[in-house]
């Protein structure tokens, strides 16, 4: 359907059953679940970007013969009884999509050796006990914590609705003793070996936090989700998943309007939502799901006369997770031939103990540029994904990722910004080459996405790709309670938590509550 025909039809529908502001993965999942459960439901998703999916999207560089995936490659919970696997089966995505199950969780690279971790929890536990025999008691305790407390956190949506009953004593112990400490503190209590601590803390990169950032109890659930419940990659990249969901929604009669910025969420005099305003016209519904950063939504999407004093106060406590700086590379032949043999690697600095100290020093010095580049780019763990190994159709693609801060980046479209991107590419690429020397001279394309790039495409606060930081302070996470505008609900990583699994799980919970509100 062309744009004019679509617009003519859209304006004929005076009242949508629900409108989604933003067509990110949580919106797509929620709308697909609603459409499946409620045949005939009229759903409208509106996004300013030209493709659906939010971060779960790709961009192509035909001259480099490459398609780059913007999203994390690891979909957790993809084994039997995994939450995501279950929802995929319900939506028929397990048949519609081809999944790749990597053999390694990731390979750890230190200066003097590398250590591939198998993609199962028992295997990792055994391997680490063998590699770090003096720490075996702590390793067993850690994985027991993952199996009990991590598992309880993993099934929290089911716990809320009563289909999963935890042991109350375990729950109480975890909430009293593990919720209020950071990953750094939790691992320090168990271990002395810095290399081991770095390996165990590394999956924090999947949720946008360093060990000093993340709450330990929450983190145990991240390990449980990604390691104990299996992980997979979608062939055709994240865009394939997003497009498949989009097709399900449209096949069920819903509409996805891309390239359309929502200018305002319309509210009546009784503080009930009534629709949205866009440059293509107004669209009406008494239920609007907001799939954007709450800070952005409050600041830009509502009439300034609405009193959001309480919400703004709560949002001050809702800190964004770290943003990322990503270097997208292509090589002139298969990355495996050049020595990048694992689908995912974590490269650790030779100055292991200094990484956290340097990050804290950078922050204390107002994110001084030089200190920040040293801390985030040179000495913090760098994740390397060999996308070619996961799906050769995207080209000879490797991505390098570090968690970063927008605060030391100059504004886009300035010379200092361009120079900084160049430095990021050089420093991060060199780190990889130091471990895989055969790559020298074999990289034929390089492109950098900075935290500002993510702001441009998603409006996420400070470019966070993971929503809110899940730290030891959870007070801001209930910002949406007693929201003053009736009919508005938030769906995104900002309320669900980062990861596909959290997005789908939260979307499922929202879809189950349909009509209950």
Partner 1 sequence: MNYENIFEASVEIICDLKDFDEDEVKGDMTFEQLDLDSMDFIELQVVFRKKFGVNMESEVFADGKVSTIDEMCHYVLELRQAA
Name the site residues for partner 1 (rule: CB under 8 A): 156, 159-162, 165-166, 168, 171-172, 175, 179, 217, 474-475, 477-478, 480-483, 513, 516-517
> Crossing angle for the helix pair 500-512 and 25-37, nearest 10 degrees?
40
Give the nearer residue to partner 1 in terms of CB position, either 318 or 356: 318
Cβ count within 10 A of residue 177:
14
The token pair at 97 is 């999509």
Between 165 and 269, CB nearer to partner 1: 165
Q: Are 150 and 228 in contact (CB under 8 A)?
A: yes
Q: How far is the CB of 162 from partner 1 (least distance, A)?
A: 5
Q: 419: how many CB neighbours lie within 10 A of its CB?
A: 11
What single DSSP character describes residue 24? B
C-beta neighbour count of 71 within 10 angstroms: 21
Q: Report in angstroms how near the CB of residue 363 gets to partner 1 at its nearest.
A: 24
Nearest to partner 1 of 100, 317 (CB atom): 317
In our burial notation (b when 16+ CB lie closer than 10 A, e otherwise), range 262-294 reads beebbbeeeeebbbbebebeebbbbbbbbbbbb
Collapsing DSSP to helix, strand or coil, 51 comes out as coil
Helix axes 500-512, 83-91, angle to 10 degrees: 60
CB of residue 482 to partner 1, shortest distance in Å: 4
Within 10 angstroms of residue 66's Cβ, the number of other Cβ atoms is 22
Q: How far is the CB of 290 from partner 1 (least distance, A)?
A: 14
Q: Which is nearer to partner 1, 153 or 204 (CB)?
A: 153
Distance in angstroms (rounded) separating the CA atoms of residues 508 and 506: 5
By beta-carbon proximity to partner 1, the closer residue of 50 and 168 is: 168
CB of 160 to partner 1, least distance (A): 6
Q: Give the shortest CB-379-to-partner 1 separation in angstroms.
A: 32
Question: Is the distance from CB of 454 to CB of 324 less than 8 angstroms?
Answer: yes
Q: Shortest Cβ distance from residue 58 to partner 1 (Å)?
A: 33
Residue among 427 and 469 whose Cβ is closer to partner 1: 469
Q: b/e map of 119-155 (b: 16 or more CB within 10 Å)?
A: bebeebbeebbebbeebeebbeebbebbbbbbbbbbb
CB of 283 to partner 1, least distance (A): 24
Least distance between partner 1 and beta carbon 332 (Å): 49
Q: Which residue number, 114 or 156, has a Cβ lying nearer to partner 1? A: 156
- Whether residue 399 contacts residue 68, with contact meaning beta carbons closer than 8 Å, is answered with yes
Min dist. Cβ of residue 220 to partner 1 (A): 13
Between CA 470 and CA 488 the distance in angstroms is 23
- Shorter beta-carbon distance to partner 1: residue 221 or 229: 221
> Least distance in Å: CB of 503 to partner 1?
17
Cβ of residue 165: shortest distance to partner 1, in angstroms?
A: 7
Give CA separation, 254 vs 33, 43, 45, 249, 489, in Å.
Answer: 12, 5, 8, 5, 19
- Residue 53 or 166: the one with the smaller Cβ distance to partner 1 is 166
Minimum CB separation from partner 1 for residue 167, in Å?
A: 10
- Contact between 148 and 170 under an 8 Å Cβ cutoff? The reply is yes
Where does residue 383 fall: left (phi above 0), alpha (psi -120 to 50 degrees), or beta otherwise? beta
- Establish how many alpha carbons lie within 13 A of residue 338's alpha carbon, considering only the half-sphere containing its beta carbon: 24
Q: Of the two residues 106 and 302, which places its CB atom closer to partner 1 in the complex?
A: 302
- Angstrom distance (rounded) from CA 16 to CA 32: 15
405: exposed, middle or buried (Cβ count in 10 Å: 0-12, 13-18, 19+): buried
With respect to partner 1, which residue has the nearer C-beta, 95 or 163?
163
**Kind of pairing, strands 114-118 and 104-109?**
antiparallel
Nearer of residues 132 and 164 to partner 1, judged by Cβ: 164
The smaller minimum CB distance to partner 1, of residues 63 and 482, is found at 482
**CA 126 to mean position of chain CA atoms:** 29
Look at strands 323-331 and 397-404 and give their pairing: antiparallel
356: burial class by Cβ within 10 Å (0-12, 13-18, 19+)? buried
């Amino acid at each position: 359907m062309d744009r004019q025909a679509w617009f003519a039809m859209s304006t004929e529908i005076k009242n949508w059953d629900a409108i989604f502001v933003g067509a990110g993965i949580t919106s797509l999942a929620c709308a697909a679940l609603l459409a499946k459960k409620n045949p005939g439901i009229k759903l409208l998703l509106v996004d300013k970007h030209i493709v659906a999916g939010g971060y779960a999207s790709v961009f192509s560089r035909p001259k480099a013969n490459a398609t780059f995936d913007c999203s994390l490659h690891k979909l957790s919970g993809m084994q039997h009884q995994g939450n995501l696997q279950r929802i995929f089966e319900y939506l028929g995505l397990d048949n519609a999509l081809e999944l790749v199950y990597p053999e390694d969780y990731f390979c750890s690279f230190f200066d003097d050796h590398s250590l591939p971790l198998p993609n199962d929890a028992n295997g990792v536990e055994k391997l680490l006990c063998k590699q770090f025999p003096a720490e075996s008691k702590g390793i067993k305790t850690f994985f027991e914590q993952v199996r009990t407390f991590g598992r309880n956190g993993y099934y929290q949506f089911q716990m809320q609705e009563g289909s999963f009953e935890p042991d109350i004593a375990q729950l109480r112990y975890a909430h009293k003793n593990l919720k209020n400490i950071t990953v750094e503190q939790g691992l320090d209590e168990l271990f002395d070996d810095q290399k081991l601590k770095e390996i165990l803390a590394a999956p924090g990169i999947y949720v946008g936090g360093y060990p000093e950032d993340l709450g330990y109890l929450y983190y145990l659930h991240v390990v449980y989700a990604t390691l104990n419940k299996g992980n997979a990659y979608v062939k055709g990249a994240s865009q394939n998943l997003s497009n498949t969901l989009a097709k399900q929604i449209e096949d069920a009669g819903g509409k996805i309007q891309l390239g359309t910025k929502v200018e305002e969420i319309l509210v009546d005099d009784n503080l009930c939502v009534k629709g949205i305003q866009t440059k293509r016209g107004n669209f009406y519904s008494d239920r609007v799901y907001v799939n954007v950063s709450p800070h952005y939504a409050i600041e830009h999407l509502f009439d300034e006369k609405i009193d959001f004093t309480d919400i703004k106060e709560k949002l001050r406590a809702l800190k964004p997770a770290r943003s990322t700086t990503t270097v997208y590379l292509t090589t002139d032949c298969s990355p495996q031939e050049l020595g990048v043999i694992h689908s995912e690697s974590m490269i650790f600095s030779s100055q292991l103990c200094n990484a956290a100290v340097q990050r804290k020093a950078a922050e204390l010095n107002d994110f001084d540029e030089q200190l920040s580049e040293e801390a985030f780019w040179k000495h913090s763990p760098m994740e390397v994904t060999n996308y070619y190994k996961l799906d050769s159709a995207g080209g000879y693609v490797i991505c390098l990722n570090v968690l970063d801060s927008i605060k030391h980046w100059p504004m886009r479209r300035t010379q200092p910004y361009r120079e900084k991107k160049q430095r990021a590419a050089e420093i991060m690429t060199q780190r990889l080459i130091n471990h895989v020397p055969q790559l020298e001279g074999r990289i034929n394309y390089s492109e950098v996405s900075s935290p500002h790039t993510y702001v441009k495409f998603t409006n996420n606060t400070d470019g966070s790709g993971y929503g809110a930081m899940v730290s030891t302070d959870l007070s801001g996470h209930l910002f949406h309670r007693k929201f003053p505008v009736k009919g508005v609900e938030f769906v995104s990583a900002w309320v669900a938590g980062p990861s596909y699994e959290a997005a789908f799980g939260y979307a499922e919970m929202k879809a189950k509550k349909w009509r209950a509100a």
